[in-house]
Amino acid sequence: MAAVQGNTPTDGLDFNAERRAVLDNHARATAQLAADVRAGRVPQPDLVLWPENASDIDPLLNADAARVISGAVDAVGAPTLVGAVLQGPGEGLTNAGIVWSPGTGPGQRYAKQRPAPFGEYMPYRSFFRLFTDKVDLVSRDFVPGTSTGVMSMGGAKVGDIICFEVLFDDLPREAVLAGADMLVVQTNNATFGYSHEAVQQLAMSRLRAVETGRSVVQISTVGVSAFITPDGVAHQRTGLFTSAVLNGQLPLRSQLTFAVRHGQAVELALCALGGLLVLAAGRDRRRGATRRPALRRRAVAAGR
C-alpha cells in the first residue's frame, strides 16, 4: 500500500484558505508515485490512502476537484481513500473518507461519527454567544455520521477512523468487529503547527494497533504519518510540514484480541480491581493507626 502526505502551503488555521493548493499537493504527490511505479522504483500499490481534508472542495459537487482526483487515481491505478469535506446534509457539512476507484470514481463512503466540539461544530451556540461572538467563527456545523466505516479496497477491509476518533475506545473496536483487517487514521494536523499534538496522536494510533491486533496507517496532511504494525511499532515515520509518500506492506489480521472481544468490560474490571485495592489499603492503614496507640499503652504499662 501507499500513503500520501501532500503537505499544506502554511501551518495554522490559514491552511483553510488554500483548499485547492492542498488538493493539488496530494494529487501531484500521487502522480509522482504513479511515475515511480512505471519506472520500477516502487511496486504497484494495491491501495492508496490520502489524509483528512485532502480535498476541502466537495468533489461530489465540484467537477474540477473530481477531475483532479480522478486524474491522480487513474494514474496510480489503485483505489484511493480520499479525505474530503462534503456539503450537507442540509446546511451542515460532512467530514468523510471516500473510496475513489480508477475509471469509476467515488464509491463507498464513511462519515466521521464524532466531530470535534468547538472545532467542527459549536455546542450550545446560543448560550456561548452570550459571552463571545467568536462562536460564529464556526459558521457551519459538521453533522455526525451514523455508520461504522469498513470499506473494501485493494483486497483489504479498511476500517476508517478520522482524526481524534482514534481516542475513543469504541470506534476502532466496532470497526474490527465489523470485519476490518486493518485500520487507517486519516488526520489533518496543520492547525496545530509544530506542537506535540501530531506525536501524541501517533501514540494513540500505536496503542490501537496493539489493542486491536491490526496494522494501522496514520496518514496526515502534514505529518506525523507512519505505517504501524500490530505490535505497535511505527515504521517510515515522517516529519512535520513535508511532502512524503509511504510505501510498503503491512499484515492483514482477522483474529480478535482479548480487548476487542470483551471491550469495556476489561476496563471496568480493572477499574473495579483498582478501587478494591485502594479500599483495602485504606482499611489496613486505619487498622495500623489504631493498633499503634494500643501498643504504646502496653509498652508504657510494662515499663511501670
User: What residues are labeled active site?
Assistant: 52, 112, 163
C-alpha span between 215 and 227 (Å, rounded): 8
210, 211, 213, 214: CA torsion to nearest 10: -80
* Cα maximum dimension of the chain: 101
Record the cell numbers describing residue 98, joined without a space: 471516500
C-alpha span between 100 and 11 (Å, rounded): 27
C-alpha span between 132 and 145 (Å, rounded): 29
- Name the residue among 208, 54, 77 with its Cα closest to residue 154: 77
Residue 25, Cβ density class (10 Å: 0-12 exposed, 13-18 middle, ≥19 buried): buried
